Structure 1
Amino acid sequence: MQETWRWFGPKDQVSIGDVVQAGARGIVTALHHLPPGVVWPLEEIRARQEAIRAGSGGLTPPLSWSVVESLPVSEDIKRQTGDWRSHIDAYKTSLENIAAAGIEVVCYNFMPLLDWTRTDLGHRLETGATCMRFDLTDYVMFDVFVLARAGAADDYDAELLDAAQARFASSSDAFKQQLVDNIICGLPGAADHFSLTDIQDHLALYADCDHEQLARNQAGFLDLVTPLAQDLGLRLCCHPDDPPVSLLGLPRIMSTEADYQRLLTAVDLPANGITLCSGSLGARADNDLPGMMERMGDRVHFIHLRNVRREHDALFGSFHESEHLDGDVDMAALVAAILREEARRRLAGRPDHAIPFRPDHGQNILDDHTRQAQPGYPAIGRLKGLAELRGVISGITHATGHG
């Protein structure tokens, strides 16, 4: 398993030097300053590679850019409206430039409008650590009573609506505004300027796009870009919905194993693959992560390892991001399945036998509380998670000989 670390570029509060000390050897990053739908120029890609090399100090060899996360798919492509065809052309040119720079793995997502959603970015635990949390009642309060989305109340049962209404009535204006800010944080590039009206306007653009239409649009996107990726030696990998349910009335098509099976059969090429995110998928009680790795592992090109604690007995509900080895995802079983897949790849002579993974998210502990890094991406919390995962990998490798 290839250790990587997500880095948000020169403005990230966790530096490349910090990553060197953490011991990861691959960097996961993107050109976040470029909006969706435009070409990633080769010189910009090389400049980011040079920044990674320069930040590595005297490390030999220096850190390298291992995975692009993400090359964003524009909303026009997701809806197949507006400038979507020119955006496809730009996407293909960006893939060519990424391949020319020697990067082989490209993560993307097909989530409409929202990249991820949490209601609390600093939920305090009894240990004093803080983490990101999704509170279903707070979310429904936002959807029905703050955003006041048309028809929102029809999406929830009476008990949940009553709880959300009571919380809305008892909440301060400051709490409501913080909730809005937290949810808007999951809008890519929009946290600084989106209003509730802006969200409503963007939701309206998806009024005629249901689950089936979005799935067809994704298949159309893959039809156009996957053959090129295959020819370029690239591996595309789709990230699951986060969280893996419909939000704000938007369709969500990457939430279950069945969704991924549909993705893989839509364009049956090795370049069309999966980002297996144990935290996103683990928020649903019916997702069997070790089983998914066993059944679809040959098309898993990138892995996010994090854990969640589900605060409910239903299919989906409130959850918070737990320590990497202390949640509802059986992390040891998942890692064992990953190592078995890597062993199969080595026997088959596959050059991609070492699957890149990163310790995804992490709880804020110790100096993380004052560093103010990207939400979910603390330095020490992720380092703790990486260390724990290393221990699991080492123990299983020693016991089984896989690795």
Structure 2
Amino acid sequence: MIESWRWYGDLDQITLDEVAQTGARGIVTALHEIPYGRVWSAEAIVERNNRVKAAGFDWVVVESLPIHEDIKRGTGDLTGLFAAYRQSMANLAAEGIKVICYNFMPLLDWTRTNLAAPVAGGATCLRFEAVHMAAFEIHMLGREAATQDYPADVVTKAAAWAQNVSEADRAALLGAVMAGMPGAFDRYDIAGLRGALTRYDGIDRTALRANYKRFLDEIIPTAEELGMRMCVHPDDPPRDILGLPRIVSNGDDLDWVLGAYDSPVNGITLCSGSLGANPANDVPAIAARVADRVHFAHLRNVRKDPDGSFEEAAHLDGDTDMVALIRVLLAEQAKRTQAGRADQQIAFRPDHGHHMLSDHARDLIAGYPLIGRLRGLAELRGVIAAVQAGA
């Protein structure tokens, strides 16, 4: 498997020289500074790729080439947006960058309610607290329908929280929910988020799937022509939030994605953390189910609570059997080697580490520390070596 590391370019305080010391061989990056829907110019791609190469790495995966909200909503004449996306793909392919990770989550990317929840020993992690998310939806956004989206005891606790917290606490919660990914995308205040949500009125699961299928119909033929592989990232969290449907949350959803445009280049980013946050998901079993279409992997772990809350665990300590999952991925690689496939090795990266030790002294991107991910990579590297040795 190809050990890789997510790097945010000029938005990242972690340098490529530091990444080199982790032992990773590949870089996962994107042009986060470019607003959604704009073409990634050949010049900008070459500049980024040259920096990656000069540091001794290969740019192995684009994460991500984002999809404009108009495409997700199916709004208006989308000809220009699809053309821009295809041109960006062509410019990437010309530089030999052939794997694109993307998501189809409406409006928000990954969502958490606490970016620095304490864990044992003084480290911190990303956490999704169901009570706080319910309070955000019901009492800050004023979305009364959200009372039906959470268990009754969570709704009761959310009301108590909303009555007893300060404006600073509310602002911190809004900041966490809006954290998403760094780069040129919209962050909202409460009024702005309410307005953005209204633009999704009438878009249910069926409509969102139809818009996603249109995206695949427009993009996958170009990927085939360019020799590229597209791999959708599962929803994070894998449940509807803010009244918006999520359609890439479990094994059945992944089956639908792969069948919506049945092509080897239409694939999956196997994110063990996103899928693992759904109690109904058996992540190693889902991985085995879609293994031949896994083009990229995010390896991380989560620990779940009965009320729907979850937090990032250490890579080998959460609810997902990481050893079993790695066995599935290595078995798939062996099959690909035997079949003579060009994509024999699966790139993976350690995802969402704990902020620990000297990470606390730096203003690092939430979920993307240096020491915490180094720990995760070392643990995953050890599991891979043991499984390959037959242990």
TM-score (normalizing by structure 2): 0.97
Q: Which residue of 2 aligns with 1:240?
A: 234
Alpha-carbon distance in structure 1 between the residues aligned to 2:13 and 2:312: 21
Are residues 1:74 and 2:68 paired? Answer: yes
Letter in 2 for 1:12: D
Q: Which residue of 2 aligns with 1:30?
A: 30
Alpha-carbon distance in structure 1 between the residues aligned to 2:188 and 2:182: 10
Deviations 1:126-153 (A, max 9, x none): 2111000000000000110012125333
CA shift in 2, pair 1:321/1:233, >3 Å: same
2:123 to 125, 129, 135: 129
The answer on whether the counterparts of 1:181 and 1:191 sit within 8 Å (CA) in structure 2 is: no
The answer on whether the counterparts of 1:321 and 1:362 sit within 8 Å (CA) in structure 2 is: yes
1:84 to 78, 87, 96: 78
Alpha-carbon distance in structure 2 between the residues aligned to 1:307 and 1:333: 13
Alpha-carbon distance in structure 2 between the residues aligned to 1:323 and 1:357: 16
Q: Which residue of 2 aligns with 1:388?
A: 379
Paired residue secondary structure (2:243): coil
The answer on whether the counterparts of 1:77 and 1:85 sit within 8 Å (CA) in structure 2 is: no
Q: Which residue of 2 aligns with 1:270?
A: 264
Letter in 2 for 1:20: A
Paired residue secondary structure (2:107): coil
1:253 to 247, 268, 281: 247
Shift, 1:167, TM fit: 1.1
1:154 to 132, 145, 148: 148
Are residues 1:225 and 2:216 paired? Answer: no
Letter in 2 for 1:375: A
Alpha-carbon distance in structure 2 between the residues aligned to 1:190 and 1:184: 13
The answer on whether the counterparts of 2:27 and 2:61 sit within 8 Å (CA) in structure 1 is: yes
TM-score (normalizing by structure 1): 0.94
The answer on whether the counterparts of 2:34 and 2:184 sit within 8 Å (CA) in structure 1 is: no
Q: Which residue of 2 aligns with 1:374?
A: 365
Paired residue secondary structure (2:19): helix
The answer on whether the counterparts of 2:64 and 2:100 sit within 8 Å (CA) in structure 1 is: yes
Alpha-carbon distance in structure 2 between the residues aligned to 1:98 and 1:89: 14
The answer on whether the counterparts of 1:364 and 1:378 sit within 8 Å (CA) in structure 2 is: yes
Q: Which residue of 2 aligns with 1:50?
A: 50
Instruction: Note the 1:2-401 alignment, pairs <5 A.
Output: 2-54=2-54, 56=55, 62-149=56-143, 151-186=145-180, 189=183, 194-312=188-306, 317-399=308-390
Deviations 1:43-64 (A, max 9, x none): 110000112233x1xxxxx212
Alpha-carbon distance in structure 2 between the residues aligned to 1:219 and 1:179: 34
Shift, 1:16, TM fit: 0.6
Paired residue secondary structure (1:138): helix
Letter in 2 for 1:67: V
Shift, 1:82, TM fit: 3.0
Paired residue secondary structure (1:71): coil
- Most deviating of 188-197 and 249-258: 188-197
Letter in 2 for 1:382: R
CA shift in 2, pair 1:187/1:213, >3 Å: farther
CA shift in 2, pair 1:170/1:50, >3 Å: same
Alpha-carbon distance in structure 2 between the residues aligned to 1:222 and 1:368: 39
**4+ aligned runs moved over 3 Å, structure 1:** 187-193
Letter in 1 for 2:85: Y
Shift, 1:11, TM fit: 2.7
Deviations 1:17-48 (A, max 9, x none): 11111110110000001111111111110000
Alpha-carbon distance in structure 2 between the residues aligned to 1:187 and 1:331: 25
Shift, 1:106, TM fit: 0.4
The answer on whether the counterparts of 1:149 and 1:200 sit within 8 Å (CA) in structure 2 is: no
Alpha-carbon distance in structure 2 between the residues aligned to 1:331 and 1:270: 26
Tell me the percent identity.
50
Unaligned runs of 5+ in 2: none
Alpha-carbon distance in structure 2 between the residues aligned to 1:36 and 1:15: 25
Alpha-carbon distance in structure 1 between the residues aligned to 2:152 and 2:125: 30
Deviations 1:304-350 (A, max 9, x none): 000001122x6xx0011000000001000000010000000000001
Aligned length: 391
Paired residue secondary structure (1:247): coil
Alpha-carbon distance in structure 1 between the residues aligned to 2:176 and 2:196: 18
CA shift in 2, pair 1:177/1:3, >3 Å: same
CA shift in 2, pair 1:187/1:66, >3 Å: closer
Letter in 2 for 1:335: I
The answer on whether the counterparts of 2:178 and 2:187 sit within 8 Å (CA) in structure 1 is: no
Q: Which residue of 2 aligns with 1:59?
A: none
Shift, 1:91, TM fit: 0.5
Paired residue secondary structure (1:222): helix
Letter in 1 for 2:337: R
Once superposed, what is the RMSD of the aligned Cα atoms?
Answer: 1.4
Alpha-carbon distance in structure 2 between the residues aligned to 1:355 and 1:127: 33
